[in-house]
């Protein structure tokens, strides 16, 4: 079973991945956080930069994720810069309000979250998995169960109740962009393990 360190100092996120990949891969928090200059123009490039840096530093396979919110009517903001948007804002609640303000004159409120996972096993063996969830940007902040831009993102669901991701923790665990990318990775590594065991 391959063991990965998470290219992040977020112990909570490491626990989430550890639980998700239990029995297939082991994931643990890195011994220390490394500041990685995310100069990539895409989620894939940034995830790769983070995973490679942690691999080279700790000499062990690394897992990194890069994610963000993309808004059709405002393509010049957020995206790979989602975390760095509106640096003057003191927290994500203020960032969310800023997004709503910028959309006030726009009719198109379509948006989607993207997550790219990079599994860096060695320089010759690197895997990427992507997940997306589509939806719209709401007119106010709703819910307290999410983080980041979750309170203003209303995902596409069969229940058209206008609930944000921050009001849907159980749905998010199964259908979010990160959940979809993780499920794709899980399926791939399970299949690889099954093929390896059949060869023995």
DSSP for 40-103, please give it.
Answer: -SSHHHHHHHHHHHHHHHHTS-EEEEEEEEEETT-TTSSGGGGGGSSTT-SSHHHHHHHHHHHT
CATH code (residue 168): 3.90.950.10
Active site residue 94: no
Domain count of the chain?
1
Question: Residue 153 and residue 137: Cα distance in Å, rounded?
Answer: 5
Domain of residue 167 covers 3-199
Output the tens digit of pLDDT for each of the chain's 200 residues.
Answer: 688 999 987 777 777 788 888 888 889 889 889 989 888 999 999 999 999 999 999 999 999 999 999 999 999 999 999 988 999 998 999 999 999 999 999 999 999 999 999 999 999 999 999 999 999 999 999 999 878 999 999 999 988 899 999 999 899 988 999 989 999 999 999 888 777 655 54
Question: Residue 150 and residue 176: Cα distance in Å, rounded?
Answer: 10
pTM above 0.85, yes or no: yes
The active-site residue out of 66, 140, 150, 194 is 66
């Amino acid at each position: 079973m391959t063991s990965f360190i998470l290219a992040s100092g977020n112990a909570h996120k490491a626990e989430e991945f550890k639980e998700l990949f239990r029995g297939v891969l082991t994931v643990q928090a890195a011994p220390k956080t490394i500041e990685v200059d995310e100069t990539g123009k895409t989620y894939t490039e940034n995830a790769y930069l983070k995973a490679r840096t942690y691999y080279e530093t700790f000499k062990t396979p690394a897992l990194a994720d890069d994610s963000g919110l993309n808004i059709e009517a405002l393509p010049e903001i957020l995206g790979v810069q989602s975390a760095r948007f509106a640096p003057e804002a003191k927290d994500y609640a203020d960032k969310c309000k800023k997004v709503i303000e910028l959309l006030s004159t726009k009719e198109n409120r379509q948006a989607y979250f993207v997550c790219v996972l990079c599994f860096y096993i060695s320089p010759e063996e690197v895997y990427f998995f992507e997940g997306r969830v589509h939806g719209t940007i709401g007119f106010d902040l709703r819910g307290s169960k999410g983080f980041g831009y979750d309170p203003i993102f209303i995902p596409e669901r069969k229940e058209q109740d206008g609930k944000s991701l921050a009001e849907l923790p159980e749905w998010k665990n199964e259908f979010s962009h990160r959940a979809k990318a993780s499920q794709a990775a899980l399926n791939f590594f399970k299949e690889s393990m099954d093929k390896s065991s059949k060869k023995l």
